[in-house]
Structure 1
Amino acid sequence: MEEDLSCAVCHDLYKDPVLLDCDHSFCRSCITQYWEEAGTTSCPICRKENPSRDLRPIRTLSNIVEMFVKSDKGDKIQQECSRHKEKLKLFCKTDNQPICVVCQSSKNQQNHELLPVEEAAEEFKDQSVKTEKQIKAQFEKLHQFLREEERIELEDLKLEKEKKSQEMKERIEKITEEISSLSVTVQEIEQELREQDNIKFLTL
């Protein structure tokens, strides 16, 4: 999952992800810096030129990264208290962090909602399942967005092709009409010349 949510330039989780015309995504700052250093607007992956420097933000992907980070933090619970070197047997829901029994007796923990680490872990697991479903749903939305973008681009390309084809057809028809008109004019001139030659012959 982390690999799918990482930028190909910095190899870290996406920060303000943007989409290029070739459908590859990068951190906005990464692709901007890459273009400045490379002196080109090509894609670092496929090398395809990006006609415009206007970058489209991918908010769906940003949401997915945010949910992944929250879920990942929940999985990385420390095993030992850094202050008291005691095992972290409790979890403070108020501060959203694990604590030891010594921390529990401090004034800072008064009126805080506490749970055994095992129960908190179960809650996190339930939350992880829910988050995973949300991430999958967001990924599907992202895929639908990309498929729709592709459909629109292909449709625009098709319309542009049909438009140019129609323009070319109209030009050919116009040129054909002009040629036909010139042919008629040439025939009329030739007829007039023949008639003039006959009259001149008779008047000799």
Structure 2
Amino acid sequence: MYFFFSGMGLNQSHCSGHPPCATCGGQLKFPFVVLPCSHLACNDCRQKTTSNEYPECTNFNCIGAHPGSLISNIIGAHDMILSSNTKGKKQSRQCLEHDQELVFFCNACLRPICIVCSRSKMHDSHEIRPVHEVRKEMQSIIRKVCEDVQSLFEEKQEQKRMIMAIQEDSKDMCKEARELISTRIARLTELLAQVEEKATNEVDEVEKDLAAKLQTQEIIVTKQVLGMASDVTELVLLQENHDDFAFIEKMQGPLPL
């Protein structure tokens, strides 16, 4: 959004000592516009360019602009509209119709007029005020608007700084969270390896114990089988030898287990 200012019939030429054009870098000319970045530009220059970057700004949002540039630029432009100083001397402005000094301001027509114009029928029902009073009132209004805009600008800058601080804090928090997660994962991996090693050792011990018990049981069973085989062989021999007395005595003894 641009604010448009016209010369209201004033001398539309370069005025030294006033804000520069943000587009061409030269002296500001009537009519001019207030750019979104708060700088001023000649309307002709602004219409001829399609760029969003200006010599007065470090970027489009004018982040690097001096905090007081908005007020000084607009107040300077306001002075440029209502008065023009050349080499420190005030030039009076003359009515083109009556060749009289423009000392009044018509609120209905929104333009300065001379004393002869103020008495004409054209301005008979209009509110006429001294131009210096209008100038002071306009300066006061513009200063108030500029202060409000400057306050809003500073508020937005503070919000931006807060957002950047939050972003930095978020980055730090994310970094700390990643480091904590990595540490926890490493610790869990270490614990899992320890549990796995312990379980493997316990299984190995159980397997060894079972193998030892099976071996012992196998030896016992083998001995029992051998003993039984020996007794059976002896009985067979006794029977074959018809040694009935020894056979009966052997059979009455304890059976081998």
Scaled by the length of structure 2, the TM-score of the pair is 0.47
Q: Secondary structure at the match of 2:140?
A: helix
Match of 1:16 among 26, 36, 48: 36
Q: CA deviation at 1:155?
A: 1.5
- The amino acid that maps onto 1:154 is A
Q: SS of the residue aligned with 1:151?
A: helix
Query: What amino acid is the match of 1:79?
Result: R
User: Which stretches in structure 1 are left out of the alignment for 5+ residues?
Assistant: 19-24, 36-43, 56-62
* Aligned equivalent of 1:108: 122
Query: In the TM superposition, what are the counterparts of 1:90-101 in structure 2 within 5 Å?
Result: 90-101=104-115
Tell me the number of residue pairs that the alignment of Structure 1 and Structure 2 aligns: 169
* Aligned partners of 2:40 and 2:73 also within 8 Å: no
**Is 1:174 equivalent to 2:188 in the alignment?**
no
Contact kept? 2:106, 2:113, Cα under 8 Å: yes
1:143 maps to 2:154:
yes
2:35 alignment partner AA: K
Distance apart, 1:169 and its partner CA? 0.7
Residue of structure 1 equivalent to 2:167: 156
Question: Would you say 1:76 and 2:83 are equivalent positions?
Answer: yes
Q: How does 1:177-196 map to 2 (within 5 A)?
A: 177-190=188-201, 192-193=203-204
RMSD: 4.6
Higher gyration radius (CA): 2
Shift of 1:139: 1.1
Over 3 Å counting, the alpha-carbon distance change for 1:17 and 1:31 in structure 2 is: farther
Residue 245 of structure 2 aligns with which residue? none
The one of the two structures with greater contact order (alpha-carbon pairs below 8 A, sep at least 6) is 1
Q: What amino acid is the match of 2:197?
A: V
Shift of 1:158: 0.4
The 2-side partners of 1:151 and 1:183 are apart by 47
Instruction: Show CA shifts across 1:106-129 (max 9, x none).
Output: 4432322223xxx33034224423
Cα distance between partner residues in 2 of 1:82 and 1:192: 113
Q: Which residue number in structure 1 is paired with residue 220 of structure 2? A: none
1:62-113 Cα distance to aligned partner (Å, 9 max, x none) = x979975884466338611123333224332321222224434544323222
What is the rounded CA distance, in whole Å, between the counterparts of 1:175 and 1:124 in structure 2? 75
Deviations 1:36-70 (A, max 9, x none): xxxxxxxx727xxx9xxxx8xxxxxxx97997588
Structure 1 residue 194: deviation in Å? 6.6
Out of 99, 113, 126, which is 1:85 matched to?
Answer: 99
Identity of aligned residues (%): 14
Conserved? CA contact 2:112–2:131, under 8 Å: no
Q: TM-score, normalised by structure 1?
A: 0.56
SS in structure 2 of the partner of residue 98 of structure 1: strand
- CA gap of 1:45–1:92, structure 2 versus 1, over 3 A, is closer
Structure 2 letter corresponding to 1:113: E
Unaligned runs of 5+ in 2: 1-17, 42-46, 62-69, 85-91, 216-257
1:132 aligns with 2:150: no
